[in-house]
């Protein structure tokens, strides 16, 4: 079997490339080199332009502001944007929440939220992880008690990406503490301007403010903001995670990094130019390039399944593991090749490649953790893909 793109798909990729040539700053190396405010401003400019061209939610049905484009066209857009390290795509709203509302939301929720996402008017964030609940998502403790026409939320979410920029949050809450672990959970939509919400910044080791801790103190949310059935949030939440895990961004980032590294080694002015003849370096670059292409094709396989009307499960986990693993491997090898130059900050006069590999490697640490750690993904692959039994629970947790 040979996989290839149609003429229409290839032309579309070229259109995106031309668009990014026009929109991105000269010598663009990615938003990691910008301040938080400058990065957000560029994100908003690009998002508006994507809306003008009808690309932001092109894969959505026309009735919700999309163009009924194929899943393949949508993935090509995400692939090219991530390859160029371009912001502008609101993955929380466009890829994760939007399709979930189409599947589980009621007509009022679709009318209220989908149009705003399609027009690029609202930024969403995701409230899943908690200070004491990460990969074991079923152990969440943030509560939502129903009083009359409102849920009252108390608790905390952590590692909330874009929480300081978000207008809205979709979050998992425990609505029935007496039910088993995976039951008694519901998914709510929350306006981030609601009284009682406190967003506390978390600056990561790369010096970037992307994560936040969000505290909820008697936050009142209308019961109309419940997505799906009460206490059925686990099923709704897992649908969102499958959309999150199946993205091509990590494989595209790895492709950009390996190509940049190869070009750097081939540059006669590079201080490591002599490495191009080293057999060990050549073999390692060949191995990494092979893994990059394999990860990329796994992502396109997930897209093909979407196009066939299938709902990927363990296949999404496979693409997430492959993409994040190779992304970190490429960045780590780049730092190895750079040697002492690899540890220099962007402001250093002797820095190489604008210090991108160091910063991107630090930022990439989270990729094998969020959306469910890669260890969790491998359990999903083993159980759902290979038919292996569930691993035994650790002592002390067997009956919880």
Enumerate the active-site residues: 244
Helix (H, G, I), strand (E, B) or coil at 247: coil
Phi and psi at residue 87, to the nearest 5°: -80, -175
| CB atoms near residue 259 (< 10 Å) | 14
Q: Is the Cβ–Cβ distance between 217 and 152 less than 8 Å?
A: no
Residue 394 per-residue DSSP state? P
Question: Is residue 39 classed as helix, strand or coil in its secondary structure?
Answer: helix
Q: Which of 185, 106, 105, 110 is nearest to 143 (CA)?
A: 185
Place of tokens 């929380």: 92
Each as own residue / partner, the long-range contacts of residues 293-296 (CB below 8 Å, 24 or more positions apart, any chain) are 294/322, 294/326, 295/250, 295/251, 295/254, 295/319, 295/322, 295/323, 295/325, 295/326, 296/79, 296/248, 296/251, 296/252, 296/255, 296/323
Closest by Cα among 365, 316, 376 to 136: 376
Report how far apart, in Å, the C-alpha atoms of 344 and of each of 186, 268, 317 are: 46, 21, 35
Among residues 51, 68, 64, the alpha carbon closest in space to that of 115 is found at: 64
d(CA 335, CA 342): 5
| Contact predicate 237/171, CB 8 Å | no
Among 240, 243, 368, 376, smallest CA distance to 312 is for 243
- d(CA 310, CA 323) in angstroms, rounded, equals 21
Strands 143-147 and 150-157: antiparallel
Torsion of CA 113, 91, 346, 335, to 10 degrees: 160
């Amino acid at each position: 079997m040979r996989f290839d793109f149609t003429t229409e798909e290839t032309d579309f990729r070229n259109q995106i490339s031309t668009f990014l040539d026009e929109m991105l700053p000269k010598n663009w190396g990615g938003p990691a080199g910008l301040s938080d405010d400058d990065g957000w401003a560029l994100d908003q400019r690009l998002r508006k332009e994507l809306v003008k061209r009808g690309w932001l939610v092109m894969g959505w049905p026309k009735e919700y502001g999309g163009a009924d484009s194929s899943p393949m066209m949508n993935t090509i857009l995400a692939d090219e944007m991530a390859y160029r390290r371009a912001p502008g795509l609101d993955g929380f709203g466009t890829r994760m929440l939007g399709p979930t509302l189409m599947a589980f939301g009621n007509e009022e929720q679709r009318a209220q939220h989908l149009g705003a996402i399609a027009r690029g008017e609202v930024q969403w964030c995701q409230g899943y992880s908690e200070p004491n609940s990460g990969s074991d998502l079923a152990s969440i403790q943030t509560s939502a008690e129903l009083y009359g026409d409102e849920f009252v939320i108390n608790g905390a979410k952590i590692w909330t990406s874009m929480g300081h920029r978000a207008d809205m949050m979709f979050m998992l809450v425990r609505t029935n503490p007496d039910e088993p672990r995976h039951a008694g959970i519901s998914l709510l939509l929350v306006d981030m301007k609601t009284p009682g919400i406190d967003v506390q910044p978390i600056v990561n080791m790369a010096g970037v403010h992307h994560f936040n801790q969000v505290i909820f103190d008697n936050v009142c949310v209308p019961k109309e903001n419940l997505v799906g059935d009460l206490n059925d949030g686990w099923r709704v939440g897992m649908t969102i995670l499958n959309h999150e895990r199946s993205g091509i961004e990590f494989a595209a980032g790895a492709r950009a990094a390996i190509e940049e590294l190869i070009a750097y080694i081939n540059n006669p002015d590079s201080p490591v130019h002599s490495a191009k003849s080293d057999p060990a370096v050549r073999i390692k670059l060949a191995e990494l390039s092979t893994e990059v292409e394999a990860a990329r094709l796994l992502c396109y396989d997930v897209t093909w399944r979407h196009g066939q009307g299938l709902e990927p499960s363990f296949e999404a986990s496979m693409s997430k593991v492959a993409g994040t693993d190779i992304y970190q491997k490429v960045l780590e090898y780049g730092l190895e090749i750079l040697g002492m130059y690899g540890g220099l900050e962007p402001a250093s006069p002797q820095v190489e490649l604008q210090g991108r590999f160091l910063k991107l490697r630090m930022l990439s640490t989270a990729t094998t953790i969020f959306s469910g750690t890669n260890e969790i993904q491998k359990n999903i692959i083993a159980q759902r893909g290979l038919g292996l039994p569930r691993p035994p629970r650790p002592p002390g947790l067997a009956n919880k």
